Amino acid sequence: MIRPNTADTTTPMVWLQGVTKHYGTVVALDEIDLEVRRSEFLTLLGPSGSGKTTILNLISGMVGPTAGRIWIDGKDITEMPPNKRGLGMVFQNYALMPHMTVFENIAFPLRVRKLKSGVIKTKVAEVLDLVRLPEVARRKPSELSGGQQQRIAIARCLVYNPSIILMDEPLGALDKKLREEMQLELKRLHASLDITAIYVTHDQEEALTMSDRIVLLNDGQIEQMGTPDDLYFHPRSLFSAEFLGDSNILSGNIEEAGPTVTISTAVGQCRCSRACGFAESGTPVKIMVRPENVFILPPGTSDEHLNKVPARMVDTITFGGVIKSYLQLADGSSMVVQELTRAGQSVPEAGSEVYVAWSSEDTIILPVEGRIEIPAPPS
Amino acid sequence: MADSNLRRVETLGGLPPARGTVWVAWFMFFFLIAPSLIIIPMSFGDLNEIYFPPRSLSLFLYREYFFESVWMETTFQSIKVAILSTMAGMFLGATAAYGIVRATFRGKKMLGALLLSPLFVPNIVIALGLYIYFARMGLQGTTFCLVLGHTLFVTPFVMVVVMAALRGVDPNLEAAAKTMGAGRIYTFRRVTLPLLRPALVTGGLFAFLMSFDELVISFFLSGFGTQTLPVKMYDSIVLEISPVLSAISVLLTLLAFVICVIITIFYNPDRRTRLRLTGEAETETKTTET
C-alpha cells in the first residue's frame, strides 16, 4: 500500500457524518459530526462512557452506526467490513498474539497480504529498528515488559503502512514514567511517518501533550473541539473548563456588559476584559480562573487592574516544582492558587487573612449550563 | 516441585494445608482407588476363575484377551465408535461453543443450557429415549445409531471445555487480526484455533474416554455384531464371570490414566499466566535500563 501523499489535502481523512450509535436503549453517540484532517494527531478525550471508544470502533468497523455515514479518504465505508478498511489499530491491552513470536506477530499483517518471505523479513527488521527493539524478534510477547509489548503492538501497526492509525488508550496500562517516555516516542513516530492518528484517552494531560487537535466528548456529544491551547485557554463550557486542567469557579450575575464585563459575585465584583457572548445584564453566569493565574497578595496592596477578593489560608502543599495553596473565600467557596516553587519562598501561614487576585484578562465567563456557541478565536 | 507449589499457594494469598488435612486427603484417595488397585494382582492370575490373591502369576488372562476374537472385535468396535463420535462431538461442540461465547443473539443463554442438557439428564433416560426413537426408524442396533448416541453424549463435554477456553481468549485478538486485514476464516485458522488447541485436545481426549467407557447408551443401542467392549464385559459378568474381565479392567484403567496424564500436561490454564508473570518481572528491570 502506498500512502496517498499526492492526494488532495482538502478531503478529510475521516469524516463522521451525523453518526448516531445506540446500544439497546443507551445512546452512546448522538449525531456526531467530526472531520479528521490528513496527517493530524487527533485526540478523542472524555470521561468513560462519553463515546470516545465507540467512535474508534465505528471507524475500525467493529460496530456499525445506528444512523449516519462514515467516510474514509472520500469513500463511504459505512458498510465495509473491518478487514477491508486498511486501518491500523493499537489496543490498550496490546492484543499481541500470545502463540506467536514477536517476529510472527509483526509479520501477521504482511502474511495476510501475501508478501514474499524475503520482503517480510526486511520489513519486520526495519520496523523493529524503528521502535528500537531490534533484539526481541524471536521472543514471545509474554517474555516482554508492558512497555516493550506496546512498542511491538505499534510496530505491528506501522509495518503495513496504514494511512490511519487508531489508538485506544495505548498507554493506559503503563506506569507514569514509561507513559511519558512512550508519549514522546509516539509523537516522534507520528511526526516522522506522516500518519493520521486518532488517539483515545481519558487523561487530559496526555491529550494536551500529544494532540494537534482535541475533541472533547461528553455524554455522546462533542463538547468542544480545537487545539490544546483553544481548549485550555478558551473553554466554552463549565465541563470543558473543569475537564482540562484545574479551575476555580465562582457563581455570579452580569452587572454591566461592554468591552469589560463586570460580574457581581457573593465575594465581590469581578471584571473580565475578554470577549464573551453575554450582553444582557442580570444573566447568571459562572466565572473561571486557572490556579496558575491567581496569586496571593498580602493585605494592603492594591492594583486597579486586578480582581481582588479577601480569603483565608487553609493549607499549602508542595508538589516538587509547584506549590499549591488552598484558600477559603468569604462565602465558603474554595480557591486554589498555584505558584512555581523557589528556594526560600515564604507562604502565608494557615489561618492568616490575605487577598487572592487575578487579572481581568485571565477571567473567563461561562454559561451556567450548556456551551457558548461563538467560535473560539482562530489559533 | 512441591516446594514451588507451596510458594505458589502462598503468593495467591492462601496458606499451605495443615499436616492433618494432608493425611486425611491421602487416606480418602487410597480408599477410593483401592478397588481399582486390587484388580491389578488379580489380573495376573492363571486360572479360569476370579480369585484374590492369585495363587501364581502369569499373563494368561492378557493372552486370553488379546487372542480371543470376540474381545478384539468388540474392542475395535469401541475404538471405531469412540473415534467417530469424538470427531463429530469436537466439531459440534467447538462450533457451538464459539457461537454461544462470541455471538450475541436473543435466547443465547437458553440455547446454551439446552445444548448442555445431556450432561444433566440421566444416561438411562437418554438411552431409553434413543432406543425407542431409533427402533421406530429401524436404525437400532447399527453402528451409525451408536455413533449418533455417543455424539449426543460427548458433545457437551467438548463444549464445556472449549467454552471455558474461549472465554479466556481476548476478543481483541480477533478484532486486531481483522483490522490488520485478515478475513473471518483466516482469523479463525491463524488466531482463534491455535489458541484453542489445548482445549480441543483436552476435550477430544475426554470425549474419547467417555465414549469408550460408556455402557448404558451402548447397551440399549447396540445389537448383534455391534456390541462395544463395555457391553460385552457386562454380558460376560452376567453370563459367565470370565476372569479375563480383570485383565481388561486393568487395561481400561491404564488407558484412563494415560489420557488423564496427557490432559494434565496439555490443559493447564494457569501455566500461561504464570509464565507471563515471571517473564514480566524479569524483563521489567531491563526496560528501565534502556
Out of B170, B182, B283, whose CB is closest to A143? B283
Rounded to an integer, the average pLDDT of B71-97 is 94
In B, minimum Cα distance to A87 occurs at B179
Grid cell at residue B169? 481468549
Asked whether residue B284 is domain-assigned, the answer is: no
A89, A98, A148 member nearest B179 (Cβ): A89
In whole angstroms, what is the distance from residue A333 CA to residue A372 CA?
Answer: 25
Q: If you search the block for the grid coordinates 481523512, which residue do you land on?
A: A13
Pick from A86, A95, A113: CB nearest B176: A95
* Residues of chain B contacting A113 with CB distance shorter than 8 Å: 181
| C-beta separation of B115 from B159 below 8 A | yes
- Residue in B172, B179, B195 to test binding to A, most A beta-carbons within 10 Å: B179
The Cα–Cα gap between B76 and A279 comes to 95
Compare all CA atoms of chain B with the CA of A113 and give the residue at the minimum distance: B181
State the pLDDT confidence band at B162, using cuts at 50, 70 and 90.
very high
**Which residue would you say has higher pLDDT here, B91 or B3?**
B91
**CA–CA separation, B95 and B125 (whole Å):** 26
Q: What pLDDT sits at residue A295?
A: 85
How many Cβ atoms sit within 10 Å of the Cβ of residue B238? Answer: 8
Query: Does an H or E element contain A16, and which?
Result: strand A14-23
Test B272 with A60 for CB contact under 8 angstroms.
no
List of chain A residues whose C-beta atoms are within 8 Å of the C-beta of residue B195: 97-99
Q: In angstroms, rounded to a whole number, what is the distance separating the alpha carbons of residues A353 and A351?
A: 7
pLDDT 10s digits, A151-208: 999 999 999 989 899 999 988 888 888 888 889 888 888 988 889 999 999 888 899 9
Distance between CA atoms of residues B211 and B234, nearest Å = 16
Asked whether residue B16 is domain-assigned, the answer is no
CA distance B276 to chain A (A): 5
Residues β-bridged to residue A67: A20
Set of cell numbers at residue A243 = 475537564
Phi, psi (rounded to 5 degrees) for A102:
-55, -45
Chain A nearest CA to B143, separation (Å): 39
For residue B286, give the chain A residue with the closest CA.
A145
Grid coordinates of B124: 438411562
Question: Would you state the pLDDT for residue B70?
Answer: 86
Question: Among A27-36, B156-165, B257-266, where is mean pLDDT lowest?
Answer: B257-266
What pLDDT is attached to residue B18?
82
Least reliable range by pLDDT among A285-289, B103-107, B123-127: B103-107
Number of separate domains in chain B:
1
pLDDT the model gives residue B281 = 40
Q: Which of residues 173-212 of B touch A (CB under 8 A)?
A: 173, 175-183, 186, 190-191, 194-195
| Interface contact A95-B183, CB threshold 8 A | no
**pLDDT value at residue B278:** 42
β-sheet bridge partners, residue A42: A198, A213
- Say how far apart CA A8 and CA A33 lie, in whole Å: 21
> How many other CB atoms are there within 10 angstroms of residue A360's CB atom?
17
> Domain for residue B4, yes or no?
no
Domain borders along chain A are 14-238, 246-342+350-367
- Beta-sheet pairing, A268-272 with A284-289: unpaired
Q: Provide the CATH number for the domain formed by A14-238 in this structure.
A: 3.40.50.300
ipTM value greater than 0.90: no
Contact A93 B286 (CB under 8 A): no
Q: How far apart are CA A146 and CA A150, in angstroms?
A: 6
C-beta pairs of B271-279 under 8 Å, 24+ apart in sequence: B272/A98, B272/A142, B274/B8, B275/A142, B276/A142, B279/A140, B279/A142, B279/A143, B279/A144
Closest CA of chain A from B202, distance in Å? 18
Q: How many CB atoms lie within 10 A of CB B98?
A: 17
Asked whether the predicted pLDDT for residue A6 surpasses 70, the reply is no
φ/ψ of B260, rounded to 5, equals -65, -40
Q: Which residues are CB-neighbours of B215 under 8 A, at least 6 positions away?
A: B230, B231, B234
CA–CA distance, A308 with B208 (Å, rounded to integer): 84
d(CA A22, CA A336): 40
Place of cell 469401541: B78
Question: Residues A65, A80: contact at Cβ < 8 Å?
Answer: no
Residue A304 scores a pLDDT above 80:
no
- Which range of residues forms the domain containing residue B85? 69-278
pLDDT at A346 over 80: no
Sheet holding A26-36, edge to edge: A26-36, A14-23, A67-72, A75-76
CB A224 within 8 A of CB A237: yes
Residue at B260 is within a domain: yes
Lowest mean pLDDT among A195-199, A295-299, B97-101, B136-140: A295-299
Model confidence pLDDT, tens digit, residues B192-225 = 999 999 899 999 999 999 999 999 999 999 988 8
Domain containing residue B241: CATH number:
1.10.3720.10
Q: Which among B178, B183, B195, B169 is positioned nearest to A89, based on CA atoms?
A: B178
Distance CA B43, CA B79 (A): 22
pLDDT digits (tens, 9 = 90+) for A27-46: 999 999 999 999 999 999 99
Instruction: Compute the CA torsion angle B152, B154, B157, B158 (nearest 10 deg).
Output: -100
CB B212 within 8 A of CB B30: no
Residue B47 lies in a domain: no
The answer on pLDDT for B288 being more than 70 is no
Fill in the amino acid letter for B252. Answer: L
CA distance linking residue B265 with residue B258, whole number of Å: 11
Q: Which CATH architecture best describes the domain A246-342+350-367?
A: Beta Barrel (2.40)
Q: How many residues does chain A have?
A: 379
Q: In the prediction, which pLDDT does B219 show?
A: 93
The verdict on a CB contact (< 8 Å) between A112 and B170 is no
CB B141 within 8 A of CB B221: yes
Q: How far is CA A88 from CA A59, A233, B186, B250, in A?
A: 11, 33, 18, 58
The answer to whether the beta carbons of residues B178 and B109 sit under 8 Å apart is no
Residues 6+ apart with CB under 8 A from A20: A27, A29, A30, A31, A32, A65, A66, A67, A68
3-state secondary structure of B220: helix
CB contact under 8 A, B287 and A87: no
- Predicted confidence band at A258 (pLDDT cuts at 50, 70, 90)? confident
Single-letter code of the amino acid located at B290:
T
CA distances in angstroms from B210 to A168, A267, B89, B116, listed in the order given:
45, 81, 11, 15
* Residue B274, pLDDT above cutoff 60: no
Residue with cell 492558587: A337
Contact residues, B window 234-273, toward A, CB-based 8 Å cutoff = 272
Main-chain dihedrals φ then ψ at residue A335, nearest 5 degrees:
-140, 140
Q: A86 vs B181: CB contact, 8 Å cut-off?
A: yes
Residue A336, phi then psi, degrees to nearest 5: -110, 135
Q: Do the Cβ atoms of B195 and A99 come within 8 Å?
A: yes
Listed in order, strand segments (DSSP E) in A177-321 are 196-201, 213-218, 221-226, 248-256, 261-265, 268-272, 284-289, 295-297, 306-319
- B155: cell is 458433545
Q: Report the amino acid identity of residue B230.
A: P
Are the Cβ atoms of B179 and A60 closer than 8 angstroms? yes
Q: How far is B158 from chain A (nearest CA, A)?
A: 22
A319 secondary structure, DSSP code: E
Q: Which residues pair with A364 in a beta bridge?
A: A288
Q: Which residue is listed with cell 478384539?
A: B72
